[in-house]
Amino acid sequence: MAALKIKKGSTSHSAYNLRPNFSDEVETHTLAVLVDNEPGVLARVIGLFAGRGYNIESLTVAEVDHTGHLSRITVVTTGTPQVIEQIKAQLGRIVPVHAVHDLTVEGASVERELALFKVSGTGDKRVEALRLADIFRANAVDSTLESFVFELTGTPGKIDAFADLMRPLGLVEVARTGVAALSRGSE
């Protein structure tokens, strides 16, 4: 019997799709995980990331339904598309997890982060720090003769840009909340 002479990956209509459909490109995804608000759930979810060597870039957790005792965990993570799919599948198998949403691929979403910046300086550096804070719409929430504490809300990119500009002006310390995200639209 003669072998079939089919060119590898020649058609997507084949029952055996031989085309490689995976990518080695690392992507950043924002995952929203709805879980029971009970002791140990956060440890189990985060343990999944730690146990498999997945990276967490940002993590926020808060109770979102007091009567239903539900919390929302928002995780920003990186990985190849296959790794992201594996993370979502493994999260979905954890018992207290009700839903896993990949906000990056499910459509438009809104992401915001809150950060506090302590900037120390006098003279021209102090004036420049105030000018840049005004441009970025950062609020001065504390002020002494030698320092400011600025509060800034925005996308992670905006927070990073503000930090980069404040470093030469005397940035001493940064505290960030992590990303809070919601999908846009009525659902």
28-58: pLDDT as tens digits: 999 999 999 999 999 999 999 999 889 999 9
How much is the pTM? 0.78
Which of 23-27, 45-49, 57-61 shows the lowest per-residue confidence on average (mean pLDDT)? Answer: 23-27
- DSSP-assigned states of every residue in 72-117: EEEEEEEE-HHHHHHHHHHHHHSTTEEEEEETTTSS-EEEEEEEEE
Pick one of 2.20.25.10, 3.30.70.260, 3.60.150.10, 3.40.1500.10 as the CATH number of 27-102.
3.30.70.260
Task: Give domain 109-183's CATH architecture.
Answer: 2-Layer Sandwich (3.30)
Q: Could you tell me which residues are beta bridge partners of residue 76?
A: 30, 58
Could you tell me the residue ranges of all domains in the chain? Answer: 27-102, 109-183
Which pair of tokens denotes residue 128?
């420049």
- Identical fold, 27-102 and 109-183: yes
Asked if the model's pLDDT at residue 171 lies above 60, the reply is: yes
Asked if the model's pLDDT at residue 18 lies above 60, the reply is: no
